[in-house]
Amino acid sequence: MIRATVLRALVLMAAFAAGLTPVTCLGENSNRLPTKATKELPPELLSLLRQKKMPKYSPIVVRVFKEEAELEVWKQDTTGLFQILKIYPICRWSGDLGPKLQEGDRQAPEGFYTITPELMNPNSNFYLAINVGYPNNFDKANKRDGSLLMIHGDCSSSGCYAMTDEQISEIYSLARDSFLGGRPSFQVQAYPFRLTPTNLARHRSSPNLAFWKMLKIGNDHFETTHLEPKVDVCNRLYVFDAQPPPNSPNPLVFNPTDKCPAFVVNPQIARRALEKQRTDELEYAQLLQDNVPAAPIYSGLDGGMNPAFLAQFPGRVTLSKVLPWGGPYFPQLPPIPWVDNDGSLTSKWFGTSFSKPTACDLARASFLSSALVGYRC
């Protein structure tokens, strides 16, 4: 009964998307599921599921990393924990590191997104597509806009995460099978890069640093427990694995733009995550003390591509077409190379303000405390 309901939802979505959605990432007219949307997983992947003791219809979590240009699919095994199933090299993503802010900025989203069956498009002009659900409650609370941002095929991106057709066929089928198993949704976690102390130290000059440290809290919850984090939004911030305080008579109610209610974090999750955060904080502080080279704030390129595809698709990663963070269209300028310790290369082109932290002294600020104060740091 559940599988029939999900299939009906996918069929209705195909008809709806074809009839009403502009052809940015979605596609052609059909009122039946095409063969590409119902095909079985390849034998090699089915064998891998058996090896890893992952039921075919168990839930999934998708994790995306821009800088590394990798997409991970995690799947729940027979113990109830999520384990890595497969890592897919991303063929193309557009924009730069940092969240999407507005329509037309070419940014691919960063954050935590919930995918339901109606966001699956089997009739995409880009073979198959999964709408990431941007803007979510966090994006809306922070007055960010945009639409039709996908994980799709065809290795072509304008704010999307583009895979090859073969890759999206597998990813789409894994998502479909998780719905057929009775799960009403799955989570996409989209990150600028793997949120290690080393990467955060390299990108310490970015105005997005506090946002990324907030995402790291959810990342740490997942990586230390292998459980999908429960995500809420209040006070225009992400909140992870919140539950009512002990003996609280009322359920938690979160309003994305209002003050956060009193809550506690599930202690079993918090304990593990805090241990990781403390270890990472010490490593981050040491990296700052060692004055590791800082990456440029802006790469000058329009997104990226996994090195695995560079020979197959030469010339697809171009110079940026817009100013960073949603500015007007950008004249053709060379990309900014990696900066040295004093940021001199960046300084020559854009001034010293672009090569140093812009709002607070991160060398003195606590790794965790700067995450908790959000955008003030």
pLDDT per residue as tens, the chain (377 positions): 445 555 555 544 444 344 333 333 433 344 588 999 999 999 999 999 999 999 999 999 999 999 999 999 999 999 999 999 999 999 999 999 999 999 999 999 999 999 999 999 999 999 999 999 999 999 999 999 999 999 999 998 888 999 999 999 999 999 999 999 999 999 999 999 999 999 999 999 999 999 999 999 999 999 999 999 999 999 999 999 999 999 888 889 999 999 999 999 999 999 999 999 999 999 999 999 999 999 999 888 889 999 999 999 988 888 887 765 544 444 443 443 333 343 333 333 333 333 333 333 333 333 333 333 332 22
- Domain locations along the chain: 2-193, 211-294+359-376
Per the CB < 8 A criterion, the answer to whether 30 and 123 are in contact is: yes
Per the CB < 8 A criterion, the answer to whether 165 and 88 are in contact is: no
* 152 given a catalytic annotation: yes
**Tokens, residue 3:** 């599988």
Output the CATH code of domain 2-193. 2.40.440.10
Helix (H) or strand (E) holding 60: strand 60-65
- Indicate the pTM of the whole model: 0.79
Cross-strand pairs, 86: 73
Per the CB < 8 A criterion, the answer to whether 199 and 287 are in contact is: no
Q: Rounded to whole angstroms, how far apart are CA atoms 141 and 7?
A: 33
Q: Rounded to whole angstroms, how far apart are CA atoms 274 and 220?
A: 8
Q: Rounded to whole angstroms, how far apart are CA atoms 360 and 38?
A: 52
DSSP line for 115-136: E-GGGEETT-TTSSEEE---S-
Which residue among 25, 91, 152, 234 is the active-site one?
Answer: 152
Cross-strand pairs, 70: 65, 89
Which residue among 155, 160, 234, 377 is the active-site one?
Answer: 160
Per the CB < 8 A criterion, the answer to whether 114 and 138 are in contact is: no
Q: Rounded to whole angstroms, how far apart are CA atoms 373 and 376?
A: 6
Question: DSSP character for 281?
Answer: H
Q: Rounded to whole angstroms, how far apart are CA atoms 101 and 138?
A: 11
Q: Rounded to whole angstroms, how far apart are CA atoms 140 and 248?
A: 29
Cis upstream peptide for 43 (omega within 30°): no
pLDDT of residue 31: 59
**Tokens, residue 58:** 């168990």
Per the CB < 8 A criterion, the answer to whether 125 and 34 are in contact is: no
Per the CB < 8 A criterion, the answer to whether 62 and 104 are in contact is: no
Q: Rounded to whole angstroms, how far apart are CA atoms 102 and 85?
A: 33
**Tokens, residue 128:** 């198959």
Cross-strand pairs, 172: none
Q: Rounded to whole angstroms, how far apart are CA atoms 182 and 152?
A: 24
* 221 given a catalytic annotation: no
Task: Write down the H helix ranges in the chain.
Answer: 2-20, 35-38, 43-51, 137-141, 165-180, 197-202, 209-225, 267-289, 344-350, 367-372
pLDDT of residue 322: 72
